[in-house]
A and B are shown apart, each in its own frame.
Chain A
């Protein structure tokens, strides 16, 4: 049910940005603005002028305390993103501060927006269409530049074009079949079925091609995960910090400091990579808390897209290696030899791995860029992602639609092979078109008749 209440949310990414924006949408937006924001331009001028940025102070409605100085802009309906009255409050960027401004808006009568609710309103109010809406949702969810590019490309229509490119041959095939059904006495050549089957084979290959882009598309949007695995004190946390450039993981020289999983999302040339730092693995544990951590690390292996298997370059013995690589199963891994800034005693014959070996020093950053490049290349092979021009699907909904198209086309091929009559073949083609129609829009009977009458000389 679509209720026209007023919603509010933090519009900027969480983190330490220079500024933060709280966005409010709905009929009470202006009223809320007047409660939480006071500025000379507004008090003196008798309210907000639409689409004008005002300077002023943010206050909490409960006790009137001043929260911050900031800017506010009101965009009156329908000239706003949601086509409702939209208020944006710009304040300084600290997480706690933004959170307080949001609370102030809620105290003034707004409701906390559900994820994606602004876009949903924009969609419901006819501001954007479904493909755009989904693309915007991806845009919001994407955390890195590459994803942004993909989301933009989708909005620009690469994907739309790819879907429409499938629709046309499907429609032509259906027209051939329907002409055969509806005009038995007109001279519709029965050999048309050879053409139909060719058309369908063509579409099938396009569907499969697009479907195969899904993993790439998903990788670009959701990002990928890489799990750091290795003996205690091999330098996993240091590597995480080196890769991400922060000191989030607690680093110490005491083995077993990391007892929980620590995740950090890093951006490798625009590719979001969630690096998971797990507890060290060794055969004898000194306490049971760590035991739990190790178990969880091994559980995580199956979910990881890539494992970085760390070996200490300063030690000679690596008895754990065969057992570890066996435990990884099918999960691909990179061998990372750590502590390259110290004298190396590792047995070089150990160092073979299908995806490559990399020597790094987290302390002086030697080899870190090379490792980043290896990780990036693994996920974004240049041949898997040819260029910005290619259509890539990243939404699960699009994938599901394509899977339904695929299924219907396989049904068609089977039915045709069994020699089923054309009205049943038409059913499969219609199912495929109708699935596709969820993206490209309905195919009307008139579209179909247009194709029939322009392809065949029909009529008594």
Chain B
């Protein structure tokens, strides 16, 4: 092994969506950072669907942006269709989703990485961590270079022992067209990590020249498109439609006829696939009564004829693939450009992580993305930025950050992973967040900007802009509370126009805004001050006023849980020495080694009685040694 001349502070292995955010975060925080990828043409690749965002995922993208990450800006610059989902529901469950031009997305991110100070981007396949005794010193690559580094962030995606399945044919690969990463997961296993197997899949890519779009229903972008980043003023990319197509009974018949050669049904695949993203054969088998399944035919870019049929992933053999895609109306003549495939890969049980994403077994080693059992670009990026921040903070000798369930979807995700682990690829849903009404896309900056600024990822100018916005919100909240109806003739007419003639003189504008039929749009007719108000400020005030009751309910719940969340459990806690814990609970606690009482409470099988005992023991320990 040739030891490279530079000793890095942070080495990021893998330049997918997690790795890019991790490397950028560390470098922007001033650490000498190395980003290694098996191929420099394969950075920030969207291996599956050509879109960013969606329910809960859009929330993650906004949070990454608020913390000072790149994903939101990258999709804003390369997105070719933007839609806000759930517009008819409340603000908490509204989310943006954008179709990306895949190549532009990848190339822009590559450019950003290449231009980043403190960051070296290099090609290389990491085959092993380099340790001296128990201490992590760097990584070894297949080409014989040893890179020394103080911290390492592993973001291996689907590459560790990747195995691609198309029907009963299978071969090693990290992604169609790429080599797998071999060796690393064996070493991790040897180090005591629990390495498991997951499965995911992707549909075929279809040649748009052979699709009859006139027979499909088009779905267009919102106008104007709403950007993801709090810093993006507007979207300038040309916007293109997606198309909706359906399967039919004949499609299902064809699919069923190929089940005997499906690696899933033939038992060849051992990894567990996601229930929320089933292959088309799964859908047909599990819902035999459904006569059709919907698919969105999504463009992969402006400059390509490749299209992505969402929801049509499969690992059926190629002849069945061709036949079933062609059985759909509008796709009769379709040519497959890239076959659909399933892929199995190694992941490491995330219960072996702290909520900082540092592993419990090896100090200075961080895991982010699919290696932790998640799925999705946004989930990966959210972990990437957190791991990058914490690796950098560690190098800088500062306290790590942990995001709470009450302040971010990233926090919910990480907490779920480290307390529950996962048996299938983990995807974010809004229903996973118990404080969903507080964790909105629209207030991600209010929740996380401060943290992003404190760690050094948000620059002064952006932070100043944010502080100004926050102050304006407070001022406007004060103003609507203080301003009252005088009920002069104009206002009386206005009231009867909006069906609120019951309103009394002296009613505050805050009270008005709380009524379902009144928003700023109506209020501005009698309130000239509204016109000068920043739209983002208006939005925040309106949401905060309208949902105040619900928001307060959730804030109360958070307050009740705070003590438990904040109670730290020492890393060397002797669970054996605690009387009263059942052996089952003791085993769980030994295995998970939770960082806080809150985490302990969420581990399955840890009973309320056990938590009560732990609380008592922790209290006792706190009294014994008064230092923090």
Contact with A along B309-320 (1 / 0, CB 8 A): 011000000000
With A1-B616, A126-B610, A460-B296 in contact, do A421 and B431 touch (Cβ < 8 Å)?
no
Which residue of chain A is the closest to B583 with respect to CB atoms? A126
Which residue of chain A is the closest to B55 with respect to CB atoms? A182
Nearest CB of chain A from residue B308's CB, rounded to whole Å: 10
With A124-B612, A181-B93 in contact, do A446 and B55 touch (Cβ < 8 Å)?
no
CB pair A459–B276 under 8 Å, yes or no, is yes
B170 at the interface (CB under 8 A from A): no
Nearest CB of chain A from residue B249's CB, rounded to whole Å: 15
Nearest CB of chain B from residue A36's CB, rounded to whole Å: 25
Contacts of A187 in B (CB 8 A): 294
Contacts of B612 in A (CB 8 A): 2, 124
With A182-B55, A182-B431, A457-B287 in contact, do A422 and B85 touch (Cβ < 8 Å)?
no
B402 at the interface (CB under 8 A from A): no
Contacts of A449 in B (CB 8 A): 275-276, 429, 431
Contact with A along B273-299 (1 / 0, CB 8 A): 011111000010011001001101000
With A126-B580, A449-B429, A449-B431 in contact, do A184 and B609 touch (Cβ < 8 Å)?
no
B436 at the interface (CB under 8 A from A): yes
CB pair A126–B609 under 8 Å, yes or no, is yes
CB pair A178–B616 under 8 Å, yes or no, is no
B582 at the interface (CB under 8 A from A): yes
When the two chains form the complex, which single residue of A123, A126, A182, A427 contacts B429, counting CB atoms closer than 8 Å?
A: A182
Nearest CB of chain A from residue B200's CB, rounded to whole Å: 11
A129 at the interface (CB under 8 A from B): yes
Contacts of A378 in B (CB 8 A): none
Contact with A along B590-628 (1 / 0, CB 8 A): 000000000000001001111011001001100000000
B465 at the interface (CB under 8 A from A): no
CB pair A182–B56 under 8 Å, yes or no, is yes
A130 at the interface (CB under 8 A from B): yes
Contacts of B2 in A (CB 8 A): none
CB pair A423–B430 under 8 Å, yes or no, is yes
CA distance A439 to B616 in the complex (A): 23
When the two chains form the complex, which single residue of B89, B276, B286, B420 contacts A421, counting CB atoms closer than 8 Å?
A: B89
CB pair A424–B276 under 8 Å, yes or no, is no
Contacts of B275 in A (CB 8 A): 449, 453, 459
Contacts of B278 in A (CB 8 A): 457, 459
With A83-B580, A124-B580, A426-B431 in contact, do A444 and B90 touch (Cβ < 8 Å)?
no
CA distance A422 to B94 in the complex (A): 12
B579 at the interface (CB under 8 A from A): yes
CA distance A124 to B616 in the complex (A): 11
B49 at the interface (CB under 8 A from A): yes
Contact with A along B406-428 (1 / 0, CB 8 A): 00000000001000100000000
CB pair B607–A129 under 8 Å, yes or no, is yes
Instruction: List which B240-286 residues lie within 8 A (CB) of chain A.
Output: 274-278, 283, 286
Contacts of B56 in A (CB 8 A): 182
CB pair B311–A459 under 8 Å, yes or no, is yes
CB pair A445–B432 under 8 Å, yes or no, is yes
CA distance A76 to B214 in the complex (A): 82
CB pair B437–A427 under 8 Å, yes or no, is yes
Nearest CB of chain A from residue B297's CB, rounded to whole Å: 12
Nearest CB of chain B from residue A181's CB, rounded to whole Å: 5
CA distance A457 to B607 in the complex (A): 34
CA distance A100 to B277 in the complex (A): 71
CA distance A78 to B329 in the complex (A): 69
B581 at the interface (CB under 8 A from A): yes
A4 at the interface (CB under 8 A from B): yes
With A130-B609, A185-B85 in contact, do A423 and B92 touch (Cβ < 8 Å)?
yes
Contacts of A460 in B (CB 8 A): 49, 277, 296, 310-311
Contacts of A19 in B (CB 8 A): none
A448 at the interface (CB under 8 A from B): yes
CA distance A183 to B429 in the complex (A): 9
When the two chains form the complex, which single residue of B49, B436, B579 contacts A423, counting CB atoms closer than 8 Å?
A: B436
Contact with A along B541-564 (1 / 0, CB 8 A): 000000000100100000000000
Nearest CB of chain A from residue B373's CB, rounded to whole Å: 13
Which residue of chain A is the closest to B51 with respect to CB atoms? A460
B585 at the interface (CB under 8 A from A): yes
CA distance A446 to B620 in the complex (A): 34
Contacts of A183 in B (CB 8 A): 55
CB pair A423–B287 under 8 Å, yes or no, is no
CB pair A424–B90 under 8 Å, yes or no, is yes
Instruction: List which B495-528 residues lie within 8 A (CB) of chain A.
Output: none
With A126-B585, A181-B89, A182-B55 in contact, do A423 and B276 touch (Cβ < 8 Å)?
no
CB pair A422–B89 under 8 Å, yes or no, is yes
Instruction: List which A407-450 residues lie within 8 A (CB) of chain B.
Output: 421-424, 426-427, 430, 444-446, 448-449
CB pair B277–A459 under 8 Å, yes or no, is yes
Nearest CB of chain B from residue A55's CB, rounded to whole Å: 32
B529 at the interface (CB under 8 A from A): no
CB pair A2–B89 under 8 Å, yes or no, is no
CB pair A123–B609 under 8 Å, yes or no, is yes
Contacts of B47 in A (CB 8 A): none
When the two chains form the complex, which single residue of A1, A2, A445 contacts B431, counting CB atoms closer than 8 Å?
A: A445
CB pair B579–A125 under 8 Å, yes or no, is yes
B86 at the interface (CB under 8 A from A): yes
Nearest CB of chain B from residue A254's CB, rounded to whole Å: 58
A458 at the interface (CB under 8 A from B): yes
Contacts of A448 in B (CB 8 A): 431
When the two chains form the complex, which single residue of B85, B93, B420, B580 contacts A125, counting CB atoms closer than 8 Å?
A: B580
CA distance A176 to B437 in the complex (A): 18
CA distance A423 to B436 in the complex (A): 8
Nearest CB of chain B from residue A311's CB, rounded to whole Å: 56
Which residue of chain B is the closest to A126 with respect to CB atoms? B582
CA distance A67 to B420 in the complex (A): 57
Nearest CB of chain A from residue B292's CB, rounded to whole Å: 9
Which residue of chain A is the closest to B293 with respect to CB atoms? A457
Contact with B along A103-143 (1 / 0, CB 8 A): 00000000000000000000111100110000000000000
CA distance A432 to B113 in the complex (A): 49
CA distance A262 to B609 in the complex (A): 42
Contacts of B55 in A (CB 8 A): 181-184
Nearest CB of chain B from residue A24's CB, rounded to whole Å: 17
CA distance A445 to B56 in the complex (A): 15
CA distance A147 to B314 in the complex (A): 61
CB pair A457–B609 under 8 Å, yes or no, is no
CB pair B609–A182 under 8 Å, yes or no, is no
Which residue of chain A is the closest to B56 with respect to CB atoms? A182
Nearest CB of chain A from residue B279's CB, rounded to whole Å: 9
CA distance A312 to B290 in the complex (A): 80
Which residue of chain A is the closest to B584 with respect to CB atoms? A126
CA distance A424 to B551 in the complex (A): 11
CA distance A88 to B279 in the complex (A): 64
Contacts of A83 in B (CB 8 A): 580
CB pair B283–A459 under 8 Å, yes or no, is yes
Seen from chain B, the residues whose Cβ lies within 8 Å of a Cβ on chain A are: 49, 55-56, 85-86, 88-90, 92-93, 274-278, 283, 286-287, 290, 293-294, 296, 310-311, 416, 420, 429-432, 434, 436-437, 550, 553, 579-582, 585, 604, 607-610, 612-613, 616, 619-620
**Besides the contacts A421-B88, A448-B431, A459-B274, what 7 more A-B pairs have beta carbons closer than 8 Å?**
A83-B580, A126-B580, A184-B85, A422-B93, A458-B276, A459-B283, A460-B49
Sampled A-B contacts (13; CB under 8 Å): A1-B620, A2-B612, A126-B582, A126-B610, A178-B431, A184-B89, A422-B89, A422-B93, A426-B436, A427-B437, A457-B293, A459-B311, A460-B296
Nearest 6 CB-CB pairings of A with B: A126-B582, A460-B310, A453-B275, A421-B90, A178-B431, A125-B580
